[in-house]
């Protein structure tokens, strides 16, 4: 079997209400849908972040991929995305989408799900975390979340609807004192749920330590990237006994794992099949963490159904996945896969697809619809804060 072509389609899907994070806002989710075509008529699906730079990566890699055997993933990796290329030129996101598609092709050729190609599933359902954001009101003047009461109210709706047993509270938006109060309100409202916090590295070491001490008695599942940089993370880890640290920012690549262990930086590595250069590479990183005694969770980057399925297959094969993966998925209003959005089961879980490959198919009409919408969203899904036009957000903010 040989690859004969690669095509990609930008798409933009609206969300319930604009999400706020430390450095801007998400008015919707922008992704690129990738299709890898073979001479045997099989088409593999992939997905990555949206934006012109990712389209440029795909355009550069396309001629190198044509003629290759989709089963020869190591050859393809070294040809398209050798470690130096990933580190120096940032090809990782575009390559990950192509790797997803090659695995999808392999699964269809063999009649096996991707999880079987990775060594087999250890679990049939994957529990996800309900993602809590401060939000602006949508065009219908609904959905705003700006204080502790509104955050708790939204969390109640989310838990009632999907049954999440873990909540992830996005920080770095309001002053730390207000976000401390909101976490305490969430803990009182949900005494039995796991609750984690993530300020996207918006705090200084001193602020992170102060927040950790104030929340010490409120059972934080873990601090995710309270500060920027491995050395700063190590300092927070040393100064906050009893507070677990996680990262997908300071520690976000395969090569980061060795210094993470040597410097005793954190307790939970948040894998991402996009950022680690594919599903297979992310699984290898998970195996390294297993050997070093580090737990793993999973980062979310506003996935559509193809990437959501890729994450689920990866999660199904990781023995040391002890933290429920993050997921923006419940904020989406629609999807580009047949049958609509992947369903949540009891406990905020999603079933591991059992069909061949990734187990999802494109809805061509939906893809065309959201491709047209993407043409009106040239900046993609990350923009400046609309309430602070022109403002530059420094890091750290506090």
Cα 120 to chain centroid distance, Å, stands at 22
Provide the pLDDT for residue 92: 83
Residues 83 and 157 in one domain: no
Closest among 268, 269, 265, 267 to 231, alpha carbons compared = 265
Provide the pLDDT for residue 91: 76
In a domain, 305, yes or no: yes
The number of domains in the chain is: 2
Q: What percentage of the chain exceeds 70 in pLDDT?
A: 98
Compute φ and ψ for 360, nearest 5 degrees: -130, 155
Token pair 């099989």: residue = 42
- CA separation for the pair 371, 5 (Å, rounded): 20
According to DSSP, the β-strands at 134-135 and 3-21 are antiparallel
Contacts for 92 with CB less than 8 Å, ≥ 6 apart? 81, 86, 253, 274, 275, 276, 277
Compute φ and ψ for 35, nearest 5 degrees: -125, 125
In a domain, 65, yes or no: yes
Domain that holds residue 14: 3-115+364-374
pLDDT over 80 at 391, yes or no: no
Catalytic residue among 162, 168, 170, 331: 170
In a domain, 385, yes or no: no
Give the domain CATH number at 83: 3.30.390.10
Residues 269 and 331 in one domain: yes
Catalytic residue among 274, 299, 313, 366: 299
Q: Helix 73-80 and helix 92-110: axis angle, to 10°?
A: 160
Least-confidence region, from 26-30, 72-76, 173-177, 310-314:
26-30
Peptide bond connecting 140 to the previous residue in cis, omega within 30 degrees of 0: no
194 is catalytic: no
In a domain, 395, yes or no: no
pTM of the model: 0.96
Residues 139 and 285 in one domain: yes
Least-confidence region, from 106-110, 298-302, 374-378, 381-385:
381-385
According to DSSP, the β-strands at 245-247 and 268-271 are parallel
Give the domain CATH number at 340: 3.20.20.120
pLDDT over 90 at 113, yes or no: yes
170 is catalytic: yes
Cα 361 to chain centroid distance, Å, stands at 21
In a domain, 397, yes or no: no
Average pLDDT over residues 354-381: 89
Token output for 181: 């109060």
Provide the pLDDT for residue 383: 66
Residues 107 and 165 in one domain: no
Closest among 253, 259, 250, 308 to 92, alpha carbons compared = 253
Closest among 71, 8, 75 to 36, alpha carbons compared = 8
């Amino acid at each position: 079997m040989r690859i004969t072509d690669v095509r990609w389609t930008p798409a933009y899907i609206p969300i319930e209400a604009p999400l706020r994070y430390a450095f801007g806002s998400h008015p919707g989710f922008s992704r690129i849908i990738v299709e890898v075509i073979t001479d045997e008529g099989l088409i593999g699906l992939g997905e990555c972040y949206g934006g012109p730079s990712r389209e440029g990566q795909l355009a550069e890699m396309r001629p190198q991929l044509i003629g290759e055997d989709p089963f020869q993933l190591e050859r393809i990796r070294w040809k398209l995305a050798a470690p130096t290329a990933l580190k120096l030129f940032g090809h990782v996101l575009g390559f990950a989408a192509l790797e997803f598609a090659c695995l999808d092709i392999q699964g269809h050729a063999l009649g096996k799900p991707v999880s079987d190609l990775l060594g087999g599933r250890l679990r049939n359902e994957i529990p996800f975390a309900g993602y809590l954001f401060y939000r602006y009101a949508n065009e219908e003047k609904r959905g705003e979340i700006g204080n502790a009461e509104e955050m708790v109210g939204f969390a109640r709706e989310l838990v009632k609807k999907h049954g999440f047993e873990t909540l992830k509270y996005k920080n770095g938006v309001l002053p730390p004192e207000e976000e401390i109060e909101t976490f305490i309100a969430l803990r009182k409202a949900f005494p039995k749920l796991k609750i984690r916090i993530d300020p996207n590295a918006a705090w200084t070491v001193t602020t992170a330590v102060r927040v950790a001490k104030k929340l010490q008695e409120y059972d934080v599942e873990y601090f995710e990237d309270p500060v920027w940089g491995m050395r700063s993370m190590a300092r927070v880890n040393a100064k906050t006994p009893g507070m677990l640290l996680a990262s997908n920012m300071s520690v976000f690549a395969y090569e980061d794992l060795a210094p993470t262990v040597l410097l005793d930086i954190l307790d939970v590595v948040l894998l991402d099949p996009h950022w680690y250069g594919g599903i297979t590479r992310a699984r290898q990183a998970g195996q390294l963490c297993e050997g070093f005694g580090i737990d793993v969770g999973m980062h979310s980057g506003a996935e559509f159904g193809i990437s959501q399925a890729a994450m689920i297959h990866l999660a199904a094969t990781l023995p040391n996945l002890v933290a429920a993966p993050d997921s923006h998925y419940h904020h989406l209003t629609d999807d580009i896969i047949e049958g609509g959005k992947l369903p949540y089961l009891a406990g905020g879980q999603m079933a591991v697809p059992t069909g061949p490959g990734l187990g999802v198919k494109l809805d061509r009409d939906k893809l065309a619809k959201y491709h047209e919408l993407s043409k009106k969203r040239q900046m993609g899904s990350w923009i400046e804060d609309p309430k602070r036009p022109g403002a530059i957000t420094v890091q750290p903010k506090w």
